[in-house]
Amino acid sequence: MITGLLVYSLSLLASEGSIRVQFDHHQQQQQQQQQQQQQVAVSVPGDIILGGLFPVHTKGERSACGSQIYHRGVQRLEAMMFAVDAINGSPDLLPNVTLGVHILDTCSRDTYALNQSLQFVRASLNNIDTSAFECSDHSSPRPRNNYSGPVFGVVGGSYSSVSLQVANLLGLFRIPQISPASTAKALSDKSRFKYFARTVPPDTFQSSALVDIVKSVNWSYVSTIYSEGSYGEYGIEVFHREAQERNVCIATAEKVPSAADDKEFDNIILKLKKKSNAKGVVLFTRAEDARRILQAAKRLNVSNTFYWVASDGWGKQQKLVEGVEEVAEGAITVELQSNSIPGFDDYMMSLTPERNVRNPWFEQYWEDTFGCVLEKNIPLETNHTFNVCSADLRLSQSVGYEQESKVQFVVDAVYAFALALHNLHEDLCKDYNQSGVCPAMTLYDGGDFYKKYLLNVSFADLAGSPVKFDSSGDGLARYDILNYQKLQNSSGYHYRKVGRWFNSLQLNSQYLVFDHNQTTTPMSACSLPCEAGMIKKQQGDTCCWICDKCEEYEFVYDEFTCKDCGPGHWPYEDKLSCYPLEKQYMRWNTPYAFVPTAFSCLGILVTFAVIILFVKHNDTPLVRASGRELSYMLLFGILLCYLNTFALLAKPTTEMCITQRFGIGVGFSIIYGALLTKTNRISRIFDSASKSAQRPSYISPKSQVIITCSLIAVQVILTLVWMIVEPPGTRFYYPTRNQVILKCKIQDMSFLFSQLYNMVLITTCTVYAVKTRKIPENFNESKFIGFTMYTTCIIWLAFIPIYFGTGNAYETQLTTLCIATSMNATVALVCLYSPKVYIIVLHPDKNVRKLTMNSAAYKKYNSGSAPTSTTCAAPSTAQKASSEGTETILMQRVGPNTPTRTSCTGVNAEPMDNIALL
């Protein structure tokens, strides 16, 4: 019936897909083999039995178990025995209760470990209440195999693949399990493994530590090798995921089959060589797989080709690198942070095959460690010579003994069970006065024990390290980072601690040594990092690219994209961001501003001098004959044109932009409006005189001022309309990508259109100047106006192409405009006022009243044979105009044959303020 229950339980387990049990055709032979294996176990009786699963032997190639002893497994087994002895000898922990053990060999194989674990299940089934069962002969059923009672919990296994299978089986029977070495992520799933715990952390943390190491040495392109099974597959899966999130690319990922031969390992190394840029290789393998990888690398002579980063499957094992030290040199490995258990080394060194009779595998471990054969194991008849083990042999560091890193976690697992049992015993057996455990504790449910007691233990172990479990039954994540280095001045090698990992990496990079004691970190990248201002263009693998340069006005938005900084901005030298460009405008300390400013200041001084001179001689015949009102208006227009230079060179603001619009337009309209009024008056006077003696209209001073103001008003109105159509303000002008110019919101063409009216005035005035060019040379005011207009036209014709042709050179453009404006004012000032200033200053004797006109000259102008009465009519007209106090047509000094004033007395002669100019 017990066998029926077992088969039923296994069928439930198989239905979940968690285990696979294969029955041999020779079932009878298999049962015999199981009986033989059952006989090879560590069995110590006690009130409470703890099971143990440890890899004492390696895998066999043709059988489940190999003949080679696994030294780490033996140490773990003895660590459990050491902990049980310490607990049984403690008066404070489980007093009057003795712990017993039932330890089995897993042979590093999951299926074999599953078969071994059936012994624990049988022992638990034997503890079932059989009162309801009876045999065919009406006798009570009794268990067939009962070594030392049912197990209360199991310590083990070591490999994650073993623990996955065993945890499924033990979970069906609610047997708690604590592993001291299994780190597969899947074991944290409480929906599948309800009663599994471990004193080590899951591989998710170790995978994070490996990614941190790869990033700390600036590797972006690595290959990975992992063992088939839960340990390697789950661990490398987490590594790949986190590596991708942190921009570490995987060149190739190779899996080591569980039954791989040397050819398989050689093929893996050859595949790694095809990705020659991926010099970093991450190993998430079991210890034996890691060793065979190193052996394959040595066979293929790639000792200095790859640099290894390995999980705790490699850790700090010395046996693993024996004979392949040169290949392993520079390897960075991760090992669970562990401390030596005090007293354990003394315990191990005190053991001998004669004293350690409870461990049936210790003799084989002894022979393998010392390379000898115990005397009792020598065949009676043999032709071979054997190295007989000496009775004086002891384990020591000189023979390669070193406390294995998982010993601490085995001891912690045993103590966790002991503390939980101690708490359970105190709760259930308070009133139980006998030694041992009370019936209530014997029958207590294993699942409740796991949840209420086992997961809640928290203590400091024998080495002083904290021990506790999280809600998933996982231990604390603490790792040491080791570097396999060659000893200085020696041929030996050792593991040097170069950092630690506890939630984050702390690595002393200066202590890292790679092959041949080189401290320079090797490069492991498909493509070199792009320089500043360059982006990646993907090619093939995600970490393989070519670098492409961003434009000078672009910045690196991300590693694959360049982005325009935009107008008015420019990238920093590192091309990571942009800064606003300095706004450029005309500075007063530049030659472009100094030259026009000096020119304008000189013009202003001269203009003020002329104004002062005219004001001082305001009532002299020359000033009165020049038409004082229009002269002052002309001087004001000239002064305004000079002042425009300062408005044009000032920093653009809305107020300055308004001043510029009015200043340039109105300044020119004052000058050319006044000149047009002058030339028009001269022309009308002589045209009228040639036709009749009637005085022309609108030639009085008041009329001339009104006409001039009207011409100026037109420009003011046009400027106001311009401001409505194109509101004043400032704008940014971008002649090039790295230049920002602050300018008034005036388009070049708008400026040209705003001067069209002034061009009309200039053109009309020039036409009048040409029209009056035949006026007698005595009347030489028109000549100076003509010179002024001709020069002005030349200046404007030269200015327009220069102004529009220097649009990108704003300084040149502004300087040109300022110079052109000042030159127009200067031409008017020099041509119109220099003759008058000359007489006022240097020849005041000529600033007197003279005869009005030379009749012979006037006749020559009219070139006709008009009667004498007509000849006197023109002077009379000029005199009438002069009598109003306006500008008189100037004449040269009269000669001796000039008629006297009385010769025209019959034609309404009037006193005049005329003056002759030489």
Mean pLDDT of 160-167: 92
Question: What does the alpha-carbon distance between residue 284 and residue 210 come to, in Å, rounded to a whole number?
Answer: 10
Mean pLDDT, residues 477-481: 92
- What's the rounded mean pLDDT across residues 308-328? 91
Tokens, residue 4: 């029926």
Average pLDDT in the 567-585 region? 88
227 neighbors 311 (Cβ within 8 angstroms): no
Distance, in Å, from the CA atom of 443 to the CA atom of 449, rounded to the nearest integer, reads 11
Residue 37: C-alpha distances to residues 31, 34, 43, 358 (Å): 10, 5, 13, 16
| pLDDT of 776 | 58
User: What are the pLDDT digits (tens) for 199-218?
Assistant: 999 988 999 999 999 999 99
User: Strand, helix or coil at 201?
Assistant: coil
Question: How many CB atoms neighbour CB 246 within 10 A?
Answer: 13
Q: Return d(Cα 693, Cα 16) in angstroms, integer.
A: 134
- Chain segment 629-656, per-residue pLDDT in tens: 888 888 898 899 899 888 888 888 888 8
pLDDT tens per residue across span 592-616: 888 889 999 999 999 999 989 888 8
Closest to 197 in 3D by CA, of 344, 417, 390: 417
More confident site: 741 or 287:
287
Q: Residue 139: what pLDDT?
A: 57
Strand (E) or helix (H) holding 55: none
Mean pLDDT of 385-389: 85
- Confidence at residue 138, expressed as pLDDT on a 0 to 100 scale: 57
State if pTM tops 0.75.
Answer: no
pLDDT the model gives residue 319: 87
For the chain, what percentages of helix, strand and coil (3-state, to nearest 5) are there? 50, 15, 40
**Which amino acid is residue 290, in one-letter code?**
A
pLDDT over 90 percentage in the chain? 36
| Pairwise CA distance, residues 225 & 202, whole Å | 19
pLDDT score, position 136: 57
* Cβ 212 vs Cβ 505: under 8 Å: yes
Q: Binning pLDDT at 50, 70 and 90, where does residue 901 land?
A: very low
- pLDDT for res 749: 74
Q: Which residue has the higher pLDDT, 83 or 710?
A: 83
SS3 string, 299-331, reads HCCCCCCCEEEECCCCCCCCHHHCCCHHHHCCC
CA–CA gap between residue 260 and residue 513 (Å, rounded): 31
Q: Averaged over 431-447, what is the pLDDT?
A: 88
Q: How many CA atoms lie within 13 A of 251 on its CB side?
A: 25
CB-based contact 226:206 (threshold 8 Å): no
pLDDT at position 359: 94
| DSSP of 849-909 | ---S--HHHHHHHHTS---HHHHHHHHHHHHHHHHTTSPPPPBPPP-TTSPPGGGGGGG--
Whether pLDDT at 658 is above 80: yes
CA distances (Å), 531 to each of 219, 542, 827, in order? 17, 18, 61
**Under a CB-based contact definition with an 8 Å cutoff, are residues 105 and 361 in contact?**
yes
Does pLDDT of 367 surpass 80? Answer: yes
Percentage of residues in the chain having pLDDT higher than 70: 81
Query: Is residue 541 scored above 70 in pLDDT?
Result: no
- b/e burial code for range 672-699 (CB count within 10 A of at least 16 → b): bbbbbbbbbbbbebbebbeeebebbeeb
pLDDT-wise least confident of 65-79, 110-124, 129-143, 257-271: 129-143
Which of 666, 661, 629 has its CA nearest to residue 648?
661
Encode pLDDT of 111-161 as tens digits: 999 999 998 888 666 554 444 445 555 555 544 433 456 899 999 989 888
pLDDT at 467 over 90: yes
Average pLDDT over residues 742-747: 81
Q: Across residues 542-559, what is the average pLDDT?
A: 87
pLDDT higher than 90, residue 780: no
Which of the pair, 24 or 445, is modelled with greater confidence? 445
Question: How confident is the model at residue 518, as a pLDDT?
Answer: 74
Task: Convert the pLDDT of each residue in 810-864 to its tens digit.
Answer: 788 788 888 888 888 888 888 888 888 888 888 887 777 653 344 444 444 444 4
Residues 477, 496: Cα–Cα separation, whole Å = 20
Mean pLDDT computed over every residue of the chain = 80
Q: What confidence score (pLDDT) does residue 480 get?
A: 92
Q: Which of 781 and 817 is assigned the larger pLDDT?
A: 817
Distances (CA, A) of 845 to 561, 798, 838, 840, 851: 85, 41, 12, 9, 15
The pLDDT-based confidence of 756 (bands split at 50, 70, 90) is confident
CA 751 to chain centre: 47
pLDDT, position 671: 86
Mean of the pLDDT values across residues 19-26? 35
Please tell me the total number of residues recorded for the chain in this structure. Answer: 918
Most confident range (mean pLDDT) of 354-358, 743-747, 797-801, 868-872 is 354-358
How many angstroms separate the most distant Cα atoms in the chain?
183
**Cβ contact 312:206 at 8 Å:** yes
- Give yes or no for residue 893 having a pLDDT over 80: no
Q: How does residue 775 score in pLDDT terms, banded at 50, 70 and 90?
A: low
Q: Cα separation of 475 and 182, whole Å? A: 11
Q: pLDDT confidence of 183, banded at 50, 70, 90?
A: confident
